[in-house]
A and B are shown apart, each in its own frame.
Chain A
């Protein structure tokens, strides 16, 4: 064996490399079949970032389809409920430049919750059919009501209501939801040292 190798060093090296290539190629091929990823992991990750309001403002029927579209190259600035934060997170994930929110799809607003003025509700069930997360409770000719904790504030129930009894109320800040805010960015004070600021005032 050793003699053979020393006799034909070129052939031996060639053989060794080819056989190594074949072995690792087979390994890779096997791995690609054995550990194949199901579905589209990018779309899943994008869907994880989207706010899941299912409002359709992006032009897709729900967050999942928009996530799929983003994975296929759709613009990332079509989600007003997510706003700036979502765009930044998506840009981070997909390694894109963050772009400002597309105004065509709406503006970033405070989160709202649908409220049905119950004595005016005639029980037509139209809003129930429109709700993408089944957050409205009621039956035909019975009063309907919104399960506040499930409502995403998507607005889709307002249009179908024939008696216009649904309001979108901004969520009130309560003792539980209150929290400290970042200190005011006193830009001048941060940029200029105190003695300069005094001089400026004197001037």
Chain B
């Protein structure tokens, strides 16, 4: 006898399993329409490989896995693809999602299947490929792609393979009936898994509330070395980590995977599906689903094609919609309300529960937490649900993470135990989602920051490049001037007048280029005035000297003086003008900063917002209208200039459309305004 361990907490809700195990598994048949959602599992949705109007055969792949963590989809029966569209799916949000819709023809023609005689000769990689193409996702409820779960790294030593036949949730009996009726198939499937993983020991864990299933399984497992382990019933012993603890005594570390403690876990139903896929080459197109609850007259287990509308299945089971106040997919503890009975059965639909109001009453309003600690006693992961509840209410996400919120398996034991009827699990689910959302937002903002900084850097770099080019041009000009000066220098030695001219020229060039950027315009002008005045003074003294000596140069000097005086006048005037315009110069300099379009837009938007904040709604809409009118006028102008300039038709059309749209907006705004005023 194997030693059985126990995990912390747990509850014993009424089991209600008897109703659905009275009858054997019944085939649900082929519904007229099959709706196959592309996402029935954890991971990326599959990608369709058929088109509307195609005829598909049963078992034909209609959508292939998109990436590693994804699962292929197959046609469950033969028929015509009538639509690939968004349909409502079984999801707590009640949203629509892309689905392939097949109108069945009732012939149920299969594509040829590639069976293999001896799977033991195949490599593990090949086996995994068969499992992957068969589209198998965990059938216990979570729907994690089985091939991914089975791809253990070769270096990890797997000690124990655990097959989960616990089915701890009330009402559900899909695995129980499978054990009773198809124990041989289960054992065959487990053998395939054992070959694939090659563990030290193989265990099938079953709760002691399924004696018939246990007996059948034990009989089938005789002499195979597979150990069927029975343990006391307690919810939630079917949780992967809980089951591992029960059977091996090992705890999976927080945030870790079972393979870290040398364990691989698979669901019993998945084992059967894997056997079918590997040995018979049959993809996963049907599953056993429990239909139960007091609102159905023929509760039981049905072998149902994936994609069968729930309403079709419920009709088979004798569903009375008037007695049922909500339809639940999954069990009463972890299931969720289905938005519409027309949603399809998917690979993870282990149970459809149609309870009456007496059976599963609407939870009474939540009362205040009295800190009784019953939730902490019930928690199978040893968390502190009451603390988590406070932090969730106060949105203290850091504290929630510190208290290991992410280890919560959302089993609902705390909510069940709570005497104040607080929907604790809902708080945890919401907080988990919020934290993940915050993480995502932070990632995005980080990305935006990086992009913003990169852009800023680019703009700065472009500016710097422009500046560098300007500097290079200036330098080149100086260089040219200097070269000209030095090249002429040799000749100038012979001719003093020429030399003086060259010197003046060089000086002037240097002044223009060199001082242009260093000295401000004002300084330059002042300098010019000063130097001209100096020249005038020397010219005047020379003239006087010549007059005194009676030189014949007097006339020439006189014209020189006149010219210099005119130049001085001009320079002085320029200086005055410059001084007069000085205050005006500051403004364009300041405006220069705002030429960046982003900054311009920011400022405009800011001003608009500031104005908006102080206005009443009526004024706001009037402002809105005025703005629109302004925009219309602008658009009209632009159109007129565009027409005049004979721009392309496309642009003119776009402009015309803009004008029309703005006019519409104005009339709408006008109506709104008149409504507000009335």
Contacts and interface: CB of A to CB of B under 8 A. Distances in A.
B632 to A, nearest CB: 10
B605 A132 contact: no
A175 B91 CA distance: 9
B364 A194 contact: yes
B336 to A, nearest CB: 10
Contact of B366 (A57, A62, A186): A186
Nearest to B45: A175
Contact of A52 (B430, B431, B445, B638): B445
B153 interface: no
Contacts of A150: 447-448, 451
Contact of A103 (B91, B92, B613): B613
Given A175-B39, A189-B365, A194-B365, A63 B449 contact: yes
Tell which of A50, A53, A59, A163 has the most Cβ of chain B within 10 Å.
A163
Contact of A175 (B93, B448, B604, B610): B93
B661 interface: yes
B95 A178 contact: yes
B597 A129 contact: yes
B113 interface: no
B601 A160 contact: yes
Contacts, number: 147
Contacts of B650: 122
Contacts of A131: 598
Contact of B448 (A133, A160, A183): A133
Interface string B632-651: 00110010000000000011
Interface string A159-185: 110111100000001110111111100
Contacts of A52: 444-446, 448-449, 452
Contact of A159 (B367, B441, B604): B604
A159 B445 contact: no
B405 interface: no
Interface in B432-475: 433-434, 436-437, 441, 444-449, 451-456
A163 B609 contact: no
A56 B655 CA distance: 29
Contact of B449 (A47, A126, A162, A193): A47
Interface string A92-135: 00000000000111100000000000001110001001111111
A180 B610 contact: no
18 contacts: A54-B452, A56-B598, A59-B606, A104-B609, A120-B657, A131-B598, A133-B455, A150-B448, A159-B604, A163-B657, A165-B654, A173-B95, A174-B95, A177-B437, A179-B429, A182-B426, A182-B430, A197-B365
Given A52-B448, A120-B658, A179-B429, 6 more contacts: A50-B445, A52-B444, A59-B606, A105-B606, A182-B426, A194-B367
Interface of B: 39, 91-93, 95, 97, 364-368, 392-393, 423, 426-427, 429-431, 433-434, 436-437, 441, 444-449, 451-456, 597-599, 601-602, 604-606, 609-610, 613, 631, 634-635, 638, 650-651, 654-655, 657-658, 661-662
Closest CB pairs A-B (n = 4): A179-B433, A189-B365, A56-B602, A52-B445
